[in-house]
Structure 1
Amino acid sequence: MENRNTENLWDKAFENGENFVFYPYNSLVQFLNRYISKQTSFGKFQVIYQSKSPCNSTPLRALDFGCGTGRQTLLLSEFGIESYGIDISGSAIALAKDLSEQLNLKANFQNSSSEILPFSDEFFDFTISCGAVLNCMPQSLAKHFLNQIARVTKKYCFLMLLGKTATPPHYNLNQDSLQFSPISYFSTLENIYDLVSQTPFKIIFLQESKETNHINNHCATYWNLILEK
């Protein structure tokens, strides 16, 4: 029942035009260029990561966990990666499919509220999860899903997490300004290490960044992680 309520709240937020991401995250672009495939010119890439597939011509395959409207999934497609996006919100998936058509990029989008990812073991070469998806659920569920990600992933996982912020995100659900606050917990160095220690992953990159608006004193902390099996 809790999953159904959460799904409905996300559906209403996306239907109200909230949480749209129109451009790729720069930190994701940096991860792809450093660990997966370096862009050398327009439409040209030098592959860095070698797939375990016995057929070298097989394209890399990647999952975007909590893909939302799909902009980061479609960035993977721009890199020539066979990309999959999964999200709890059917409304977000519908928008992602529309965006795929508008950008003329192919991706596989799927709506799912199951706590078991619907993919076989090591189906993906790597997984990404941007926009603090794991912060939008209880920590125990975040640990469960990170283990699910590890199960379906061969090597890398790129994560973006939200640290302490003065004003957590709120999304309007209707024209009467009924709001939805999705953040369940904030990431800290301690709970990040605890989260990862209970999975097959190890941390190979951990970046903390803090932003301060000195006009209104708004402060926010963000974490970028690269995990490896």
Structure 2
Amino acid sequence: MELAELQKHWDAFGAEDPLWAIMTVPGKRFGRWDVNDFFETGRRQVASQVEYFHERGMHFNRGRVLDFGCGVGRLTQALGDSFQECDGVDISAAMIARARQHNRHGDRCRYHVNARDDLAIFADNTFDLVYTNIVLQHMQPKYARSYIAEFLRIIVPGGLVFFQMPAGTEPANPEPNPSSTISHRAPLPDSAFRAKISPTEHPATVWAGSQLELIVRVKNLSGCPWKATGRELDRLGLRLGNHWLNEQNQVVEYDDGRADLPGDLEPGEEVDLVLTINVPKVPGSYLLEIDMVEEFVSWFKDKGSETSVLPIEVKTPAAERDFTPQMQMHTIDKDEIISLINNHSGKILEIQRVNEGKGLLDYNYYVTK
């Protein structure tokens, strides 16, 4: 996306579900983030990162800090606890409006909308720390490169630039040995197919073609323990799922979402699961049926267990928005970033591999000048 298009998408996120767009935690979508809990995650993240700076001998003044891609100020507010002045900059006016509402540092904290491919709103040698995390990856590399160069321009000599950027995908693991990864356990006995399924809440109306997250409480009503899937190739895994029915109880979309058990569930125990489902594209009145399933064996309903059935009205999305906001993912090779830093008078203090095992070659860069 070009910057104007990127701004449109992040303005949509900022207007609809800004906290979830910044912290996409399962179960927190559709306004389920508690504001205090949300900002507490920022406080913990900044405290941990600042502690790491000091452990690695990265010292800087606590004068002025920039939070680049600040969103609603989750990290800006935490950084403001440790700096005399803090600035947050974001491409989305909707996000900045929310950030200003949550500002508790008064005039010491300023928020700026910036839709340019530079940071000309700031003079050279302005900040003691430039901080950005999980931001540059959501824009085209040409813009990420431009901003990295700008970070080095606006940082004071001896200051610190901290940014994160993935460099590509992790190498594929060797093919697993099927004999060691496929579960060969026996199917559950019929008496184990007994569950109480209770959505904690659900919307009565949803937009056609959208996604919906439901928090569903599942209780094992049988006398048998339920074993969690635990293995990627467990053919007989126990999961929560759903179907869409019409008002005549006829299935119109079969076998939609899935949610794994996080651990074994003993008789009488219950657990909350986050089920992500796909709303039908055709508007109308539907019944959402939620049930447990033992894959390749049976749905619990077919063994006599009760399902949860929710009436839901599916409506045409508002006409004023003809797109679905998206978060794009981009990468820049590590050697290319090293060359960029060197070409702009930067000095690399450390390159730290992070988030191993999650599919990306992801790095934190610690740079001074």
Normalised by the shorter chain, which TM-score bucket?
Answer: 0.7 to 0.9
Kept in 1, the 8 Å contact 2:69–2:90? The answer is yes
Give 1:98 shift.
2.0
Give 1:136 shift.
2.3
Query: Is it true that 1:32 corresponds to 2:50 in the alignment?
Result: yes
> What amino acid is aligned across from residue 75 of structure 1 in structure 2?
A
Query: Is it true that 1:88 corresponds to 2:91 in the alignment?
Result: yes
Alignment partners' CA distance in 2, 1:94 and 1:26: 24
Give 1:88 shift.
0.5
Kept in 2, the 8 Å contact 1:100–1:106? The answer is no
Structure 1's 110 and 179: CA in aligned 2 closer, same or farther, altered over 3 A? closer
Query: Is it true that 1:10 corresponds to 2:10 in the alignment?
Result: yes
Give 1:210 shift.
3.5
Query: Is it true that 1:19 corresponds to 2:37 in the alignment?
Result: no
1:93-172 alignment runs, 5 A limit: 93-101=96-104, 107-117=109-119, 118-131=121-134, 133-154=135-156, 155-164=159-168
Find the counterpart in structure 2 of residue 180 from structure 1. 326
Structure 1's 182 and 82: CA in aligned 2 closer, same or farther, altered over 3 A? same
For residue 125 of structure 1, give the secondary structure of its aligned residue in structure 2. Answer: strand
Instruction: Point out the structure with the larger helix share.
Output: 1
For residue 102 of structure 2, give the secondary structure of its aligned residue in structure 1. Answer: helix
Find the counterpart in structure 2 of residue 41 from structure 1. none
Q: Which moved more, 1:192-201 or 1:64-73?
A: 192-201
For residue 29 of structure 1, give the secondary structure of its aligned residue in structure 2. Answer: helix
> What amino acid is aligned across from residue 125 of structure 2 in structure 1?
E
Alignment partners' CA distance in 1, 2:52 and 2:359: 29
Find the counterpart in structure 2 of residue 169 from structure 1. none
Kept in 2, the 8 Å contact 1:127–1:149? The answer is yes
- Which structure 2 residue ranges, 5 or more long, are not aligned? 24-37, 171-205, 211-323
- Which structure 1 residue ranges, 5 or more long, are not aligned? 38-47, 52-58, 167-173, 213-217
Alignment partners' CA distance in 1, 2:74 and 2:336: 28
Kept in 1, the 8 Å contact 2:65–2:83? The answer is no
TM-score, normalized by length of structure 2? 0.47
- How many residues align structurally? 197
For residue 21 of structure 2, give the secondary structure of its aligned residue in structure 1. Answer: coil
Which structure has the bigger radius of gyration? 2
> C-alpha offsets along residues 116-155 of structure 1, whole Å, 9 cap, x if unaligned?
3101111111211111x22222222222211211111112
Which consecutive segments of 4 or more residues in structure 1 shift more than 6 A?
Answer: none
Find the counterpart in structure 1 of residue 187 from structure 2. none
Find the counterpart in structure 1 of residue 352 from structure 2. 207
Which residue of 346, 359, 366 maps to 1:219?
A: 359
> C-alpha offsets along residues 29-78 of structure 1, whole Å, 9 cap, x if unaligned?
344235479xxxxxxxxxx8454xxxxxxx61011111112111111111
Root-mean-square deviation (CA), in Å? 3.0
Structure 1's 126 and 19: CA in aligned 2 closer, same or farther, altered over 3 A? same
Q: Which moved more, 1:138-147 or 1:116-125?
A: 138-147
Structure 1's 105 and 222: CA in aligned 2 closer, same or farther, altered over 3 A? farther
Structure 1's 63 and 125: CA in aligned 2 closer, same or farther, altered over 3 A? same
Alignment partners' CA distance in 1, 2:343 and 2:71: 26
